[in-house]
Amino acid sequence: MLAGKPITALLAIMDLEVSSGRVDGPEIRELPGPPRQSMLTWLYDDGTLVRYRPLGDELLRAPTFSIEIKADCTRDDLTLDNIAFKVATSGAAVPKRTTDMANPYSPVTNPIQFQAFRDTILMASRFGVR
Amino acid sequence: MSLDLAFTPADRFFELTDIRDWLDARPDTFEDPWRPDRYLINGYPETATFALEQTFADSAQRPLGCVVYLSRDEICVIQELGTAAALRSTLAFLLWLTERYRCRVRVDDKLDLTEHVQREGIASLYRHDDRNAPLSWECRLIPVGFYADLEHGQIYGPSIERACRDAAGLDDERLATYLDGGHIYRRVESTARDVLDGDVPIGPAHLLTDGVYVWPADLSYYVRHYHVVLPRAFVIHVRTNAWQVPRFVDLTALPEYETR
């Protein structure tokens, strides 16, 4: 449902989610960066966490959404420790850290392949990228 | 936990010269040629030079490792893209930094880890495997000068053509003399040839070492004739050795170097 949608459409969907009462309004976190930015997070009762970085991150300098699933709804989500996994645009589960996945390539003898594999996995969980 | 972290000095500014000196001496780390004050910690000396070349070729290259942004009043460490080796190397940097400076450590405006770090140490933020692993080059010889274009080069070694300079560097002769003074780590029967000038024979393609680095014997030739630029960390290492290869190196105790 969300795959391929532009950022504006995703923001509109989140507005609708809030106005229909399915989720509270976003919490704002100031990230030191760079780039310094205000990240918005929406937390659903079932532990689904939506993050929006208007300036992107080191991997992609563009506005991006990510969807994550908390391991324990009662604990905070300030670090990745309480995140079980991220969700790909296809709906599949994606590792939350690059070091959580078994990359079949060696970063020493096959750095290009290693990086391509890593970036494919990381990009899979970035919504709003066209 | 591979977080992105921001460090601010509690009672003074960061001395960037010291911090740069520390980072420059790391064989797996380089400064972004396009963005000063941005360092990339690759984790592996073997691929750091390759990653540097990739960054040269494409300024928007996604980093293969952790990223450190330096400024006098804040140092930011981006770790999401780091391999386990890069995380371990970044931890070494942060251990050094937090020993030297009393820092405020935070993830964002909601999560301040200062007290936790003061109580438990910066290493407590890292997973057991990451913090207890050796640095990737601790148990290995660090290769230098294995240009991809050479017969005995590494597949992902740097390009010798891109390493060449028109004019001699200030320390070229001293570096070349140091390289010539290496102990023979592995004898090689074949003769190295000048790949830039019609395969002119140079000499035996032995591998030489100073106990920390390993290099092909023809490297000094390329330094003298083509003024090839050597990695900054290696130059610092040579300078630290007072431009002389240590006289005694226990060659039998050196780790195996795998040529690729």
Helix (H), strand (E), coil (C) string for chain B: CCCCEEEEECCCCCCHHHHHHHHHCCCCEEECCCCCCEEEECCCHHHHHHHHHHHHHCCCCCCCCEEEEECCCCEEEECCCCCHHHHHHHHHHHHHHHHHCCEEEECCCCCECHHHHHHHCHHHHCCHHHHHCCCCCCCCCEECCCCCCCCCCCCCCCCHHHHCCCCCCCCHHHHHHHHHCCEEEECCCCEEEECCCCCEEEEECCEEECCCEEEECCHHHHHHHHCCCCCHHHHHHHHHCCCCCCCCCCHHHCCCCCCC
Q: State how far the Cα of A18 lies from the Cα of B32, in Å rounded to an integer.
A: 42
Residue of A72 and B115 predicted with greater confidence: B115
CA A29 to chain centre: 15
For residues A5 and A50, the model is more confident at A50
Give the closest-approach CA distance of B248 to chain A in angstroms: 30
Q: Which of A108, A110, A123 to mutate to test the interface with B (most CBs of B within 10 A)?
A: A108
pLDDT over 70 at A129, yes or no: no
Least CB-CB distance to A34: which of B69, B80, B155? B69
* pLDDT at residue B259 in the model: 62
- Residue A105 predicted with pLDDT over 90: yes
Nearest to B111 among A57, A58, A78 (CB): A78
User: Which residues in chain B are contacts of A33 at CB distance < 8 A?
Assistant: 69, 76
Residue A114 to residue B64, Cβ atoms within 8 A: yes
Q: What predicted TM-score, i.e. pTM, was given to this entire model?
A: 0.90
C-alpha distances in angstroms, B245 versus A10, B177, B179?
61, 9, 8
Q: What is the pLDDT of residue A81?
A: 77
Contacts of A59 in chain B (CB under 8 A): 62, 80-81
Q: How far apart are CA A78 and CA A80, in angstroms?
A: 7
Q: Nearest CA to A66 among A82, A81, A83, A53?
A: A53
User: What are the Cα distances from residue B116, in Å, to B84, B112, B217?
Assistant: 23, 9, 50
Let me know: does B231 contact B175? Beta carbons within 8 Å: no
Contact B108 A58 (CB under 8 A): no
Position B29 scores a pLDDT of 95
Of A78, A99, A119, the CB nearest to B62: A119
CA nearest to A61 within chain B: B60
Mutate to test the interface with B, among A31, A81, A98 (most CBs of B within 10 A): A98
Do A51 and A40 meet the contact criterion of CB atoms below 8 Å apart?
Answer: yes
Identity at A53, one-letter amino acid code? R
Residue of A57, A79, A107 lying closest to B83 (CB–CB)? A107
Percent of chain B with pLDDT over 90: 60
CB distance B64–A79 less than 8 Å? no
If interface means Cβ-Cβ distance under 8 Å, which residues of chain A face chain B? 29-34, 39, 57-59, 78-81, 97-99, 107-109, 111-112, 114-115, 118-119, 122
Cβ within 8 Å, pair A31-B260: no
For the stretch A3-38, pLDDT in tens is 778 888 889 999 999 999 999 999 999 998 788 999
pLDDT digits (tens, 9 = 90+) for B196-212: 988 788 988 899 999 99
Find the chain B residues whose C-beta atoms sit closer than 8 A to any C-beta of A. 1-4, 6, 43-44, 46-47, 50-51, 62-64, 67, 69, 74, 76, 78, 80-85, 87, 106-111, 130, 155-156, 260
Query: Which of A32, A98, A111 lies closest to B106 in CB terms?
Result: A32
The Cα–Cα gap between B191 and B186 comes to: 14
Residue B135 CA to its chain's centroid (Å): 12
- Among B121, B120, B196, B183, which Cα is nearest to B153's? B196
pLDDT band for position B27 (50/70/90)?
very high
Q: Comparing C-alpha atoms, which of B244, B105, B245 is closest to residue B183?
A: B245
Specify the DSSP element, H or E, that contains A115.
helix A111-124
Per-residue model confidence as pLDDT tens digits over B147-198: 988 888 887 778 888 889 999 889 999 999 999 999 999 998 888 889 898 8
pLDDT of amino acid A5? 81
Residue numbers in B near A80 (CB within 8 A): 1-3
Name the residue among A103, A37, A33 with its Cα closest to residue B64. Answer: A103
d(C-alpha B252, C-alpha B131), whole Å: 29
Which candidate, A120, A6, A7, places its Cα nearest to that of A53?
A7
The answer to whether the beta carbons of residues B30 and B38 sit under 8 Å apart is no
The pLDDT of residue B143 is 92
Q: Is the peptide bond before A34 cis (omega within 30 degrees of 0)?
A: yes
Asked whether the beta carbons of residue A29 and residue B108 sit closer than 8 angstroms, the reply is yes
Residue B189 burial by Cβ neighbours in a 10 Å radius (0-12, 13-18, 19+): exposed
Q: Which of A79, A114, A119 sits opposite B107 (nearest CB)?
A: A79
